[in-house]
Structure formats: C-alpha cells, structure tokens
Amino acid sequence: MLKITRATDPALAELLDEELSRQEHNIEMIASESTAPLAVMELTGSVFTNKTLEGYPGKRFQAGSHIADKVEQLACERACELFGAEHANIQTYSGSTANYSVFASVLDPGDKILSMRLDQGGHLTHGSPANWMSKVYHYEFYAMDPETEQIDYDALEVQAREYQPKLIIAGASSYSRLIDYERIAKVAKEVGAYFMVDMAHIAGLVAAKIIPSPIPHADFVTSSTTKTFCGARSGMVFCKAEHAQALDKGTFPGAIGSIHLNTMAAKCWSFKYAATDEFRAIMEQVVKNAQCLAEELTSYGFRIVSGGTDNHLMVVDLREKGVTGKAFQDALDAVGITVNKNMIPFDPEKPGVTSGVRIGLTAVSQRGLKEPEIREIAHIMNCVAEAPEDETNLQECKQRAQELIAKFPLYPAGSFDD
Ligand SMILES: Cc1ncc(COP(=O)(O)O)c(C=O)c1O
C-alpha cells in the first residue's frame, strides 16, 4: 500500500510504519477514536480526491461534476434512510465545521446560545472562550446536577426562560448518559429557540438503533463521522425539511468551500455499512463492554461519574485511588493503554491535571474484545493505579496488555503489505 511513498519518501513511510505498529500493539481507549474500515481507507485515497466541485447536485460551479452529483445524491439518500432524517447535508469537513454550518444557517452575530458547560462534558465549538465562536455569539451554559452528575433539566429550563437563547445545544464529548431530547426540545419550542443536537460521539450507536435518536426531536443534528460511527474523518448534518434551504446555504457558501469528494464517497460507503447486522453487532458490544468495564472498575474502588454508562464511554473519578487524571493517563500510556485525562463535574483539579480520565470502548470492540478481555483490562488498570510509578509493576502490566491485544489484529493480516 505504501510502495510509492516507500520509494520516494522513506522517512515518511517509516513514520507511517511506526504509527501502524503503535495502533496494532496498543489498547486504544480514547473515546473519540475508532478504526476506519479498509473500504474507507481505499475511498479516501481514491481518484475522487482530484475533483474540485462546489455547490449542490445539478447546480455546480464546475463542469465535469455529473458523477460527483450521483455520489452526493446516493450518499444523502442513504444518510436520510439510515437516520430517518428529512434532509441531510454531508458536505461539511468534520464535526466542528458541522456545528459552524448550523450557526451560519440560522444565527446572526450577537445571538444567544445555551449549551452544556465545557468542563462538564460540552465541546469547544459549543462556546469555549478559546474558540472563535465566543467572539461571534453570546453563550450561557447549563450544568450537571451535583447529586446525579447528570444534566440538571429543571435548572436548564429556568435558564432557557430567563436567557431567551436563539439556539439550545445538547450533545457532549464526555457524557455517559442518555439525554432527554424531548424535554429540551419542549423548552426550546416554548422560548422560540432552535434546538441542535451534536451527536458526534454517539452517531454509530444511534445509526445502529442501540440508543435513542435525537433526529425526531431536534431542528438540526450535527456529527463527526469518525468516533462511534467508525467512518471517514469528516462530518454530517441533518435537519427538518423546513430548514433544508437554510442549512444548505449556511454550509455552502456559508461555512465551507469545495467538497472533499473522497471523504464524501467514504461516507457514502459507511451509510450502507452502518445499516448492516455486522455493524449493529459491534455497536451492541460497544455498550456491553462499556458497562462491563464500568462495573469492574467500580468493584476495584474507582468511582464512575454518574454511577455508570449508557453509551460507549465513561468518565472515571480517580480521587479514591489517590492518583490524578494526568498521572494515570501517563502510567497507562507507558503500559500501552491509551486514554485521556478528563475533568469530572465540579473538578477541584486544574484542566491540565484533572481528577479523572475518559475511557471509550469503540476501537477495542471493533477488534473483537468482549467481556472476558474487558475484565482483564480493568484488572490491569487497577494494578497500574495501585503503583503508577513502580517501573517493575508497569513492565508487568505492559506485558499483560500486549499479550491480550496481540490476539486481536487491528486489520486482517496482509492488509498493508506492499
Ligand atoms: C461533541 C463533539 N462535537 C464536535 C466535535 C468535533 O469533531 P471533529 O473532531 O470531527 O471536528 C467533537 C470532537 O471530539 C465532539 O466531541
């Protein structure tokens, strides 16, 4: 697969080999990661990369777009069918730009947005002071109930009535519970706000109908196509038919330029694949594995934020174990288990340190790991937490982790042979 790169740029080919080996030998548990199927790799590297096109099928700015039109139409039809949506726009480049295209569709500078607190699960593009959106719109944030560590819907409703936002955003980067879309949609309607759900993390589980869909309740639903969707590094947006024109205009020319036809083709393939029994079985196992890990870690004295998980991820409070998120992340990294430090709700630690880690089960479930292996991972994690600075302990843990993951190849043997 790397024949030409190997001949023309050995230094770069070597880095690719290193990364493939890292992924192969690591237990990958970053909640936003998944493994792209080989067809997605093939299509993202296909001749569709060469085509420049802007606009929509039948209304392109460039000639020679008739085949691209068929790809986009097929992809949109499949996307709408898969998610039961009235309209899909799949031109956006990622989950972040998907959000920007909705903002460009229905908001004016200075408009008010109500979204989830970023240190309790929200995303950068939902109003972080570090994100340029915060210079364009006014934000207010809703929070978790300190008791349940789940969205405080009563407080959200009060805030919505007082603040009168033009847009309410639900959806998160590190929230392990189902969201009551119906309830938020109701208050959005009452205050005259648009309701947008960012399902970037959970789109695969929604597509496979493992957890409830936001599509019937929201005006707009945005997403990445990586994460649980396991597809190309790209994005997608769905909306009610009444907003279709605004969304298309907000996306192009509102938020993006030319289409990435190669990733669009890969998304088209994924919309078909996500409707298969094979994909559904993986998504089912993702949730079973997540719940298994949450239970096992709890039995070792870790505390799972909100008490458990309904989806592919969990945030683990490490304070009882006497280790910070950063220290645990680094120690796990040393043994070949990849997670990320993460704030817990009302975290006393700084964002660079944190009291927690976020753990996701998508990539390991794709590789075929089931409950017995997840229990072994929980045990290794506990051994790491017990003595995160003990080199001998870490070496032993690393050996166990490597033996475990070696039985579950990342890709079928020979997939990347030259
Ligand atoms: C909730 C949420 N929205 C949007 C994004 C951004 O997606 P992308 O990385 O595809 O731009 C993320 C990324 O982690 C996310 O968690």
Top mutation candidate among 118, 201, 256 for ligand 1, by most atoms within 8 Å of CB: 201
**Which pLDDT value is given to residue 2?**
84
Top mutation candidate among 103, 115, 173 for ligand 1, by most atoms within 8 Å of CB: 173
26, 337 contact by CB (below 8 A): yes
Domain 41-273 bears CATH identifier 3.40.640.10 = yes
Top mutation candidate among 93, 101, 117, 125 for ligand 1, by most atoms within 8 Å of CB: 125
- pLDDT tens figures, 262-299: 999 999 999 999 999 999 999 999 999 999 999 999 99
In the predicted structure, residue 353 carries a pLDDT above the cut 80: yes
Domain range list for the chain = 41-273, 277-406
* CATH superfamily assigned to domain 277-406: Aspartate Aminotransferase, domain 1 (3.90.1150.10)
**Which pLDDT value is given to residue 416?**
84
Ligand 1 contact via 32 beta carbon (within 6 Å): yes
Ligand 1 contact via 326 beta carbon (within 6 Å): no
Q: What is the mean pLDDT of the chain?
A: 97
**Which pLDDT value is given to residue 414?**
87
Tell me the average pLDDT across 181-202.
Answer: 98
Phi-psi region of 142 (alpha: psi -120 to 50; beta: other; left: phi over 0): beta
> Could you give the angle at the alpha carbon of 40 between the alpha carbons of 39 and 44, nearest 5°?
120
User: What is the pTM for the complete model shown?
Assistant: 0.97
Same fold, 41-273 and 277-406: no
Strand 87-89 relative to strand 235-239: parallel, antiparallel, unpaired?
antiparallel
- pLDDT tens figures, 164-175: 999 999 999 999
**Which pLDDT value is given to residue 362?**
98
CA of 360 from ligand 1 middle (Å) equals 14
CA of 123 from ligand 1 middle (Å) equals 7
